[in-house]
Structure 1
């Protein structure tokens, strides 16, 4: 692969609803860029993008896949994102590092949940959007209704740049309103014949072009003046309007494709390379401390790791985007999170399992690196002696669905835990926690499908049979009446020993309660418990029976005991206890002695 300058790079995320044809479109784009010589298909389990075992099994994308293509003198970094909302974390990953979203919408299913999710993330990241209407060959497809729904749902200025001559079984041509030509597609090979618009379509084409031109002109005051003066815009003026309007999210171009037959994809790629913004044309990137990073290949190096993948033949791969500077093979960089040095000794442009070794990665480009020891997703890499500049991290959604998981074979517990944490490294929308309270391993995901895929991978790739069970209910315990207790901790083992004696009274605690008059109140400490409720300690010691410095140890001992209540082993809460007497030893008393005495009392 030749070396590309920043201005000749286009970063694209293919997003949209499930089964809308995103992976097939990605395959077409690799074929058009001659990265592959033959197009695979999802049905045949032969696409470059869906190559992982779970994706081959389910025949849908589960992870985002980083790809590249070359077209029209430009390098296209393409990220194919899943469409099911269970894998929303991959959409967040994909849209974090691109300048354009290519949103695929099925003319059959129209606006779907996956479409809405992707749109929300483009809003969050202020990402330009190009719509590609697919499935126009399907019987129940409706182009006009799809466009109407998009306009109603997303309240944006959709610029319809193409429309189909017909839909359903007869779909084989589109009218291009930018070129004012008809693109006629050949069955089988996807080759396009560009011809004059037939008389039967001229009136409709002219009417729709006039609407499109008015939309384009309204996005720019200077162009609006030209439009009022001339009544139209030239092709160059339209190109200028589309480029600027796309970049500022004032315009959202709409194209027509048939991804299955590779119809219209070449034209979409032509539009992207000519009109979509290069990385250095977008606003500077925001940093954690409120600063900015300009996309300058001559600036200080700053790279952001947005994805981690683990491949059997390569090990751990860190996918990164260079925000500033140029990284050369063998460069030593500093991880701002771990303060450790990383050497980027092997860098690649990746296309699924395919990879091409590269010696440099310039600002705006995306690469993959192997053998980074202490670098995970959301890490920023900078020059060793550079300013500590950290990119705002990807915000992954909180789990919507939680289950407890256990290995069917007892000997697999350790392997299960290790495997889940490896999976969590690859998918940061997956949460894995051991609940000390419930004594269960809890897995949190974005939905049932998310957790089904986790189970499949554990059983088929890690050979760990598991079962999901409902998490235990996190009960809470408390007391209903007062009681007195004492405990003497004494230990003698040669030399200095341990001694501490504590007398306490406990009773239920309620807000605004009146404390017992039985003992004097010399001090009070209120603890807000992590598991809810309060623990209150009243110091009622008189005559120096226990030194004041041992009271925090007593409190700590009581708190430890409250982590495991006597009835169900659940956390205890809302208790007040009075330390009213005790004994200590001039030599043997220490904090550990009184902590243990408080715990057992």
Structure 2
């Protein structure tokens, strides 16, 4: 296979809402370039991009699929991405390594919710972007409204390169850059190049002048030439358009019919001639802010943007060559763990097809098999060149579930399988809660969860079921209380004896030291589950030997690890041990541990105990026209609205909501707003549970003391 330099490598990613035609466009481009002999169809389950079994079963893209084509002395690496935002991780990683983004729109709908969500990431990475309005041959096409929706998304920097036209029943495209009309046969394919019709010339010239002005704005030399000559030739236009795309100030708009192969060849020509190449973009940066030279002569650096576990192959690792060249049998060092990886296999991927290559140069995208110590977001570099590239930042999960193996013998297999799924898709997070004793799976939505379930069952052979996760409540007290407990046990020989008097009080930051006690010592403990225990030694006259005080504290901590209300952790309590008794023969550590535990439990239940629940701070971004419905939903979930701020055509609600009430909120929010709203959450604080809910929870807890009720 021919090796291209970085000036002739174009890395494009196809993004867009579900059913916009990305996979069909990729298939058509491969066909146009002669890499495949016939075009597959999504509904026939025979496209190059959608080759996974789950994609055939679900009827939509689930994974980002790297492909490549060669067109007029350029290599175009294409990554076809899913359109559903449950699989946004696949989209983000692809955007990260692309040189140009091709955003495909369904010409019947224009910019959709999925387009808006993806645009936020394109804008974040400041990537050059082309918009492509698809389905120009559809009877319900609304090209002008679709173009307006693009301008609504990116502003007046969207500029028409083409617009569709019907002439005597034939589908045509007017090209503003070349000032030509392309007339397509009914079955699509190679068009006839014709002059622009007289009745369209005024419109075309007006649009051409807009394009000239926009292109000139992005280059001082072109601007001067434009002022002198009043126009730009095609070569100058290309230069200005590329500069505008690199500045994120110009967004060319094309029109095609991917299904009928109309306009795809012209789009490929524009990608070749105008769209930025790998060499045009700013150099990658390391974690510590250093630029990595993107030259062939520099030390080899690879960035891993995707990993796939395939049952018959093992792990397939996808990477972009950031610097230098990688060759077959090269040894590179992983900057994360220091492990050396050997590239025994090197290839480019076209769907499921692997095409071996001897080397890949800077700017190119490739893959390797069975790298043992490498995951997504890792940097692999030449030995002695210690560098780590800034990692991809993935969105936080939107739903959480407790996951269990149907067969308890498969628990370990379930955990291992989920780790592999996380390696393949970093938006899937796996954790184990020691508190609730549950394996917690967090992901992007219900469809994402269904895909994970399918993968567990069909790829890894594990039957799993999912439940609402338990909430990590806390228990504390609201007033002071005193108690004493005598532990006495005689069973022949030496017995057990201990008596402990203590007072407990709520602890808060900055609280004054307790009054009325002779404080002999103080131990302040940051509890592993949050909050504090402050333990005071207030023993006078040696009624309890100093060596027994740690045992009393152990007994208190045992109760705090399983509070008497609901079995939750206790936090934010201070304890003053001020009196007691011991026996010269029968007293020992275990006796004082038991006495301390019982005294603390009794005092706790008499101190107006309170149940606390975790509350999350939410930032909900919702369209203005449904903000009332969203606020009603939040308030129904016991949320407190802290403020509302405008954000373009959206409103951002800041609120605090109990975690226990947010189960299913992501799905409900999507339903209320037709998928247009998004939200972020983070832990805020523990807050008191309402009395009615506390009573219900205590009554449902087995073995609760009558005093607590």
| TM-score normalized by the length of structure 1 | 0.89
Distance in 2 between the 1:464 and 1:29 partners? 39
Question: CA 1:83–1:502 in structure 2 vs 1: closer, same or farther (change >3 Å)?
Answer: farther
Indicate the residue corresponding to 1:179 in structure 2.
178
Residue 533 (structure 1) shift: 3.3
SS of the equivalent of 1:280 reads helix
Matching residue of 1:537: 535
Flag structure 2 segments of 5+ consecutive residues without an equivalent: 489-495, 583-588, 601-709
Q: Which residue of 1 aligns with 2:428?
A: 430
Distance across 1 between alignment mates of 2:290 and 2:229? 44
Residue in 1 that maps onto 2:53: 53
Report what 1:494 is aligned to: none
Distance 1:39 1:560, change over 3 A: farther
Provide the residue aligned with 1:291 in structure 2: 290
Identify the residue that residue 26 of structure 1 maps to in structure 2: 26
Judge which range, 554-563 or 280-289, deviates more: 554-563
Please tell me whether the aligned partners of residues 478 and 508 of structure 1 are also in contact (alpha carbons under 8 angstroms). no
Shift of the 362–484 alpha-carbon distance from structure 1 to 2, 3 Å rule, reads farther
Determine the C-alpha separation between the residues in 1 that align with 2:399 and 2:450.
12
1:99 pairs with 2:88? no
Equivalent position of 1:509 in the other structure: 506
2:446 counterpart residue number:
448
What is the SS of the residue equivalent to 1:261?
coil
Q: 1:578 to 1:294 in 2, by over 3 A?
A: same
Give yes or no for the alignment of 1:155 onto 2:152: no
SS in structure 2 of the partner of residue 297 of structure 1: coil
Aligned counterpart, 1:372: 371
Q: 1:479 to 1:457 in 2, by over 3 A?
A: same
Larger CA deviation: 232-241 vs 469-478: 469-478
Query: Does 2:216 correspond to 1:217?
Result: yes
Does the 8 Å contact 1:342/1:373 carry over to 2? yes
Q: Distance in 1 between matches of 2:549 and 2:341?
A: 48
Cα distance between partner residues in 1 of 2:149 and 2:456:
40
> Which residues of 2 match residues 112-123 of structure 1 at below 5 A?
112-123=112-123
SS in 1 for 2:341: strand
Contact persistence 1:332–1:383 (CA under 8 A): yes
Contact 1:172/1:186, CA 8 A, preserved across alignment: yes
2 CA distance for matches of 1:302 and 1:282?
16
Q: Distance in 1 between matches of 2:360 and 2:486?
A: 70
* 2:18 partner SS: coil
Contact 2:9 2:74 in 1 (8 A): yes
Q: Is the 8 A contact 1:137 1:170 kept in 2?
A: no
| Contact 1:66 1:78 (C-alpha < 8 Å) held by counterparts | yes
Map 1:343-382 to 2 at 5 A: 343-382=342-381
Unaligned runs of at least 5 residues, structure 1: 489-498, 585-590
Judging changes above 3 Å, is the alpha-carbon distance between structure 1 residues 311 and 596 closer, same or farther for their aligned structure 2 residues?
Answer: farther
- Match of residue 421, structure 1, among 419, 422, 431: 419
Tell me by how many angstroms 1:400 deviates.
0.9
Match of 2:605 in 1: none
Q: Identify which of structures 1 and 2 has the higher relative contact order when contacts are C-alpha pairs closer than 8 Å and 6+ apart.
A: 1
Retained in 2: the 8 A contact 1:485–1:505? no
CA pair 485-128 structure 1, distance change in 2 beyond 3 A? farther
Partner of 1:137: 137
1:534–1:45 CA distance, 2 compared to 1 (3 A): same
Number of the residue aligned with 2:391: 393
Aligned counterparts of 1:592 and 1:124: Cα–Cα separation in 2: 61
Partner residue in 2 for 1:307: 306
Distance 1:269 1:565, change over 3 A: same
Q: Scaled by the length of structure 2, what TM-score is found? A: 0.76
On the 8 A contact 1:164/1:171 being kept in 2, the answer is: no
| C-alpha distance in structure 2 between counterparts of 1:287 and 1:577, whole Å | 51
Question: In the TM superposition, what is the alpha-carbon distance from 1:415 to its structure 2 partner?
Answer: 2.6
Q: Match of 2:108?
A: 108
Aligned position for 2:662: none
Answer with 376-385 or 189-198: which moved more.
Answer: 189-198
More off after superposition, 151-160 vs 574-583: 574-583
Deviation at 1:149, TM superposition (A): 1.4
Contact 1:4 1:75 in 2 (8 A): yes
- Cα distance, 1:249 vs. partner? 1.3
Aligned to 2:72: 72
Q: Tell me how far 1:138 sits from its aligned partner.
A: 2.3
Task: State the match for 2:493 in structure 1.
Answer: none
What's the offset of the Cα at 1:172? 1.6
Name the structure 2 match of 1:473: 471
Mapping of residues 175-324 of structure 1, within 5 Å: 175-324=174-323
Q: CA deviation at 1:358?
A: 1.2
Provide the rounded CA distance (Å) in 2 between the counterparts of 1:28 and 1:155: 30
Q: Give distance in 2, aligned partners of 1:243 and 1:202.
A: 26
